Amino acid sequence: MMAEIEHPNQQGVCRMIGYCILVLCLVPHITWATVSYKQGDPVTLYVNKVGPYHNPQETYHYYTLPVCRPKEVDQLREAIEELYYFEFVLDDIPIWGFVGYMEESGFLPHSHKVGLWTHLDFNIEYNGNSVIFANVSVKDSKPVPLEEGGAGHGAVGTGGGLALSFTYSVHWFESPLTHARRAERLRDYSFFPKTLEIHWLSIINSLVLVVLLLGFVIIILMRVLKNDFARYNVEEEGGCDDLDQGDNGWKIIHTDVFRFPPYKSLLCAVLGVGAQFLTLATGIIVMALLGMFNVHRHGAINSAAIMLYALTSCVSGYCSCSFYTQIHGQRWVWNIILTSSLFSAPLFLTWSVVNSVHWWSGSTQALPASTVLLLLGAWVLVGFPLTVIGGIVGKNRAGNFQAPCRTRNIARQIPTQPWYKHTAVHMAIGGFLPFSAISVELYYIFATVWGREHYTLYGILLCVFAILLSVGACISVALTYFLLSGEDYRWWWRSVLSTGSTGLFIFVYSVFYYRNRSSMSGLVQSAEFFGYSLLTALVFSLMLGTVSFWASLVFIRYIYRSLKMD
């Protein structure tokens, strides 16, 4: 059975009496094709989903509500007390409303009332033959009270259930907007609270702070390097192996600074996957700037991300295997496997846990088995083969490492370092500064991903992304210089961890957001939020760790080439 609302001028008010609230057909997705109606044509209304108002990610099929089941009044009361809302779809326009009504008043005596809306007023705006906007109202209706453990007033009890008549009315209003501009009407209306505001001032403030920070780091570092070059280059010129042993600072470790690190395969896998996500993130932002994503279809970005992740797998394979070959790695097959599974394995594990919770709870967010097989097939048939192809090409096209100085066979002993040069301190500094550059924008992104708002300021997002990468690169260079000045040549992994620790700060922020900025609760919401927050932190760690490493490598090659050493 399907609810049909007739076009105006034939029937102004339509009614339906039955045991179900209104509508009765579930649509799998929403399209945006133009639909024209003639006078008297039916306008079909579809059911979509229901869910608790404060848990935007927790949704269920509409028929999980016991409105057509006479023995489940208590369950219906509980749904109303949890502020469950429904979502209908009319001509691709989402319509939201609350399932029932709840009122609490007084202290002694305390009053707790729960009622069910049995009549809905639909207000539909149209222009010519097109529907422009629709919403639902209950302001002229009275809810039917649901007494705990029995029938409500005015309703007939049937074995613990209720016999109710559900009705609706339709009101048509002519709109001056054309169908091409109806998105403006949808943008101006929101059933959910609006938390996203224009935040240009905050972004400008963050940008100014970042520019000052970068300027400070660059100026100070260049002045220090200028003094180092002046001091080192006035010495008597000699070979790389015949320098004055009384010298100190970063010059004295020139025979060790290019010594290859341990766990070479893992390092290269991190760099490869980080390069892949840099490519993916840039592609998503550029596609958004070009207007390729509809603001009302969150799934479009998810689909694009899945597609780009599979297609950019060749980037991870190429970058990882190419650098692995440059630093004399021998097990390139194992390197390709490690690269391919470095992110896909945690992703599959997290998704398995989250999807199992959704399945167990009966949530509509649970992916069906067919979709699971489709995604797995995309990785097996596209993602992994492209990683292998990229790895083979990278191995065959890899050149030399291009170290400015030779590396001695025996490593130099590293002096005892002060506390402020330890790894944990560098990770705290290198992680906090990039995080502070994006902390303002991070709230809006979280409110979009885990809330009901629509993010449209993609130009700001691109600016913030560029700032993030710039801050990470500059901070990494500064921390690497301080490390080398203490005659510690173990910069390889340190450069990855220093700004890669930004992911830890992002996860800590996600915990803060969950507890203080959202109304989320329950097993379903908690499992999904923290599971995907961990993956988000991992992605940021891989991206920033990659940028940090390459910035440090370029810096180190520059300063050692600039020395007068033969």
pLDDT in tens, 479-494: 998 899 888 999 999 9
How many distinct structural domains can be found in the chain? Answer: 2
Mean pLDDT of 390-394: 94
Same domain, 63 and 137: yes
What predicted TM-score, i.e. pTM, was given to this entire model? 0.68
Choice between 405 and 234, residue whose per-residue pLDDT is larger: 405
| pLDDT of 288 strictly over 90 | no
Q: Residue 55 — pLDDT band, cuts 50, 70, 90?
A: low
Q: Residue 241 — pLDDT band, cuts 50, 70, 90?
A: very low
Same domain, 122 and 237: no
Same domain, 228 and 361: yes
Written as six digits, the tokens of 439 are 């902390």
The residue out of 134, 154, 188 marking a domain boundary is 188
Written as six digits, the tokens of 55 are 């848990």
Same domain, 209 and 183: no
Same domain, 67 and 130: yes
Among 41-45, 239-243, 337-341, 438-442, which is the least confidently predicted range? 239-243
Among 48-52, 336-340, 423-427, which is the least confidently predicted range? 48-52
Which of 230, 107, 198, 273 has its CA nearest to residue 460?
198
Same domain, 261 and 119: no
Mean of the per-residue pLDDT values of the chain: 79
For residue 23, tell me if it sits in a domain.
no
Mean pLDDT of 36-53: 77
Give 265-305 as a DSSP string. Answer: HHHHHHHHHHHHHHHHHHHHHHHHHTT-S-TT-HHHHHHHH
For residue 513, tell me if it sits in a domain.
yes
> Contact at 8 Å (CB) between 48 and 27?
yes
Mean pLDDT of 279-307: 80
Choice between 349 and 35, residue whose per-residue pLDDT is larger: 349
> Contact at 8 Å (CB) between 370 and 67?
no
Max mean pLDDT among 234-243, 368-377, 422-431 falls in 422-431
For residue 481, tell me if it sits in a domain.
yes
Task: Please report, to the nearest 10 degrees, the dihedral formed by the alpha carbons of residues 455, 456, 459, 463 taken in order.
Answer: -10
Same domain, 171 and 272: no
Q: Residue 392 — pLDDT band, cuts 50, 70, 90?
A: very high
> Contact at 8 Å (CB) between 304 and 293?
yes
Residues in the chain: 566
> Contact at 8 Å (CB) between 539 and 277?
yes
For residue 20, tell me if it sits in a domain.
no
| pLDDT of 229 strictly over 90 | no
The residue out of 131, 156, 188 marking a domain boundary is 188
Same domain, 179 and 258: no
Q: How far is CA 322 from CA 308, 310, 314, 315, 543, in A?
A: 21, 20, 12, 11, 18
pLDDT at 157: 47
For residue 152, tell me if it sits in a domain.
yes
Same domain, 210 and 338: yes
Same domain, 225 and 83: no
For residue 16, tell me if it sits in a domain.
no
Mean pLDDT of 112-136: 88
For residue 194, tell me if it sits in a domain.
no
The residue out of 136, 153, 188 marking a domain boundary is 188
Choice between 128 and 158, residue whose per-residue pLDDT is larger: 128
pLDDT at 420: 87
pLDDT at 263: 94
Mean pLDDT of 333-355: 93
pLDDT at 305: 87
Number of C-beta neighbours around residue 399 at 10 A: 8
Which of 60, 66, 459, 483 has its CA nearest to residue 256?
483
Helical H runs in 379-520?
A: 384-397, 423-449, 458-485, 491-500, 502-516
Interval 154-208: pLDDT, tens: 444 444 566 778 888 899 999 888 888 888 787 777 676 554 444 566 667 667 7
pLDDT at 80: 82
For residue 19, tell me if it sits in a domain.
no
pLDDT at 165: 82
Same domain, 377 and 519: yes
pLDDT at 207: 73
pLDDT at 104: 67
- Phi first, then psi: give them for residue 136, nearest 5 degrees: -130, 145
Same domain, 309 and 374: yes
Domain encompassing residue 259? 199-562
Mean pLDDT of 93-119: 76
User: Residue 340 burial (CB < 10 Å; 0-12/13-18/19+)?
Assistant: buried
Among 3-17, 73-87, 96-110, 394-408, which is the least confidently predicted range? 3-17
| pLDDT of 559 strictly over 90 | no
| pLDDT of 14 strictly over 50 | no
Number of C-beta neighbours around residue 184 at 10 A: 11
> Terminal CA-to-CA distance of the chain, rounded, Å?
87
Among 305-314, 326-335, 405-414, 438-447, which is the least confidently predicted range? 438-447
pLDDT at 68: 59
